[in-house]
């Protein structure tokens, strides 16, 4: 009997299929990989600090040459800064896309437009490279893999701008809502506010990442359900270290004591980092490529039977290409 009970085959010798993962790992290690993260929310919510805390280094605004006290821009600007982070021999090119000026104006109508435009421009860039007859073996990826949206810790309701932004952009980018500066609320207030925000998102029909419809199987679904029930994560970022019980911890000093950023009893920063980097980073990239980019691509290729500014390719050639 050449079959074992689990339905797989028992073979006489060793083939080495188990080395496939190692081969993939080596290949990825050689090329390294890209991760592009966008932060959106009005000024003073600790966006830079949070990104620095996530990646344990000063990645957010470094090398962009902006002063901290720079005046609020009159319109939303988009500033992308890239850094190479290396850990345990793995190289990651991290790009942080900041959106100064968002939500800071007296009139914030349409302030999501430049952000939407930027996200689509990156898809367009990728598409142009892809449809080139002599295309690069590895297309540089500048597409936004995830957008962390910072909600003000008001304890009341979402602002209209919050719902408007998430509603408009949830179909073109993975949105991860977080409640910023959570140490300004008591634990009870925080819990109530989180539930209220979740309810509001549901009523408004806003799909945030991880989206229910993209769960691949039951295991995925139950893992992601747990995450969805915990979102939006109430976070505190800090790049300052303090001594607590003889250990050095990242924290924020308040009148009541030290809020330890990585202590799950104090805030949900650790959960956010595990989710974003340790468990879902690859999935964020896949959903971006297979869902958001695919939707954009289909729309563009349908517009005029092809890309508008190039002469339309004959259909037979299109089928060969795609």
Range of the domain at 90: 29-238+267-303
Give CA–CA dist 268/38, Å, rounded.
20
From the CB of residue 110, how many other CB atoms can be counted at a distance below 10 Å?
12
> Residue 247: beta bridge partners?
244
- Residue 195 located in a structural domain: yes
Query: Could you tell me the pTM of the whole model?
Result: 0.86
Asked if pLDDT for residue 166 goes beyond 90, the answer is yes
Asked if pLDDT for residue 65 goes beyond 60, the answer is no
pLDDT in the model for residue 13:
82
> Residue 147: beta bridge partners?
38, 175
Nearest of 36, 52, 143, 141 to residue 96 by alpha carbon: 36
Overall average pLDDT of the 247-268 stretch = 80
- Residue 311 located in a structural domain: no
Q: What is the CATH number of the domain that holds 68?
A: 3.40.50.300
- Residue 110 located in a structural domain: yes
Least confident piece of the model among 86-90, 124-128, 258-262: 258-262
Asked if pLDDT for residue 98 goes beyond 50, the answer is yes
By the 8 A CB rule, do 29 and 217 touch?
A: no
Per-residue pLDDT of 135-154, as tens digits, reads 888 899 999 999 999 999 98
Proportion of the chain above pLDDT 70, given as a percent: 87
Q: Domains in the chain: how many in total?
A: 1
pLDDT in the model for residue 59:
81
Exposed, middle or buried: residue 9 (CB in 10 Å: 0-12, 13-18, 19+)? exposed
Using pLDDT thresholds of 50, 70 and 90, give the confidence band for residue 19.
very high
Asked if pLDDT for residue 196 goes beyond 70, the answer is yes
- Residue 127 located in a structural domain: yes
Nearest of 76, 92, 75 to residue 37 by alpha carbon: 92
Backbone φ, ψ for residue 145 (5° rounding):
-80, -25
């Amino acid at each position: 009997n050449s079959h074992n009970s689990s339905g797989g085959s028992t073979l006489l010798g060793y083939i080495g299929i188990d080395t496939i993962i190692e081969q993939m790992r080596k290949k990825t290690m050689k090329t390294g990989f890209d991760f592009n993260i966008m932060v959106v929310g009005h000024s003073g919510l600790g966006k830079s600090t949070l990104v620095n805390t996530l990646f344990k280094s000063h990645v957010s605004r470094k090398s962009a040459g902006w002063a901290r006290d720079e005046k609020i821009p009159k319109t939303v600007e988009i500033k992308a800064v890239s850094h190479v982070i290396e850990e345990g021999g793995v190289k990651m090119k991290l790009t942080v896309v900041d959106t100064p000026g968002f939500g800071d104006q007296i009139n914030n109508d349409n302030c999501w437009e430049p952000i939407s435009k930027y996200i689509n421009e990156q898809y367009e860039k990728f598409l142009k490279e892809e449809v080139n007859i002599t295309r690069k073996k590895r297309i540089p990826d500048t597409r936004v893999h995830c957008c962390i949206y910072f909600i003000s810790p008001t304890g009341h309701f979402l602002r209209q701008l919050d719902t408007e932004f998430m509603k408009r952009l949830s179909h073109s980018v993975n949105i991860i809502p977080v409640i910023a500066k959570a140490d300004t609320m008591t634990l009870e207030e925080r819990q109530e506010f989180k539930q209220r925000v979740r309810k509001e998102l549901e009523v408004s029909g806003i799909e945030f990442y991880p989206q229910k419809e993209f769960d691949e199987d039951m295991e995925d679904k139950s893992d992601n359900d747990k995450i969805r029930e915990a979102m939006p994560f109430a976070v505190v970022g800090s790049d300052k270290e303090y001594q607590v019980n003889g250990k050095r911890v990242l924290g924020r000093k308040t009148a009541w004591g030290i809020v330890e950023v990585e202590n799950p009893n104090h805030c949900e920063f650790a959960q956010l980092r595990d989710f974003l980097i340790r468990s879902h980073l690859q999935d964020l990239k896949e959903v971006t490529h297979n869902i958001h980019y695919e939707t954009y691509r289909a729309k563009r290729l349908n517009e005029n039977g092809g890309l508008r500014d190039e002469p339309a390719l004959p259909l037979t050639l299109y089928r060969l290409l795609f």
